[in-house]
Amino acid sequence: MKLFVGLGNPGAKYAHNRHNIGFMALDEIARDHGFSPWKAKFQAQLCEGTLDGVKVLLLKPQTFMNLSGQAVGEAMRFYKLTSEDVTVLHDELDLAPGKCRVKQGGGHAGHNGLRSLHSHIGADYGRVRLGVGHPGHKDAVAGYVLRDFPKADEAWLDDLLRGISDGAAALAAGDGGKFMNAVSLRVAPPRSSTGTKPAGGKKPAAQNSAVQPQKPVKTATTEPATDARSALEKLVDKFK
């Protein structure tokens, strides 16, 4: 069993804040993969389902960000899980908007939700760091993360959330590389090519290039030599 935790703040007021991108990611997974309805449990909203045969619990703490660890700790104790069974999806100021990174263990880097988790379950849980960008100055951070995503961010945000949902089964299986590939296919899909590469790797000649007519090759000709013999000498030569 795996526990996916999304970090955020409860209530409609915060629903579309940058700080709530973890909640948004879990909502996308739940919709796309037919999870059970959300229910109140462990000071959180909880639903469950399976991803490629792995049972997965989705948990959105309702204790506000700074106390997220309380709800996660309760759920872990109830289901007898370890911190290695937990993956936390959260906003990351140090990543550009739309970027995603997977990490196992480590520090909390000043993130209040992660700080609370550290105090309740230790530091060995997995993280999916979801880039929201940085406002440029630490004094502006609180206001920045507690504001809604602007309309200009809707396209990349939708691609990122869909990519997380696409790769959710790989994440549950512990395959971080496959998960990241799924995200990349949504966020930065490969460019399609309409041309075909000829055999041998040679570039085809341009179809619209003019065909130059071949110049005629001049061949050397030998002029017949002038016969200076007399008529009698010619006659004599015929009978030799």
Model confidence at 49, pLDDT cuts 50, 70, 90, reads very high
Catalytic position from the list 19, 90, 111, 118: 19
pLDDT digits (tens, 9 = 90+) for 206-223: 444 344 444 444 444 444
pLDDT digits (tens, 9 = 90+) for 5-20: 999 999 999 999 999 9
Q: At 145, which amino acid appears?
A: V
Burial (CB count <10 Å: 0-12, 13-18, 19+), residue 65: buried
Token pair for 188: 């930065």
DSSP 65: G
Q: Is 120 a catalytic residue?
A: no
pLDDT averaged over the chain? 86
Q: Which CATH architecture has domain 2-187?
A: 3-Layer(aba) Sandwich (3.40)
Domain ranges of the chain: 2-187
Cα–Cα distance list, 127 to 98, 163, 224 (Å): 16, 16, 97
Comparing 103 with 211, the larger pLDDT belongs to 103
Q: What are phi and psi of 131, to 5 degrees?
A: -65, 130
Q: Is 92's pLDDT higher than 90? A: yes
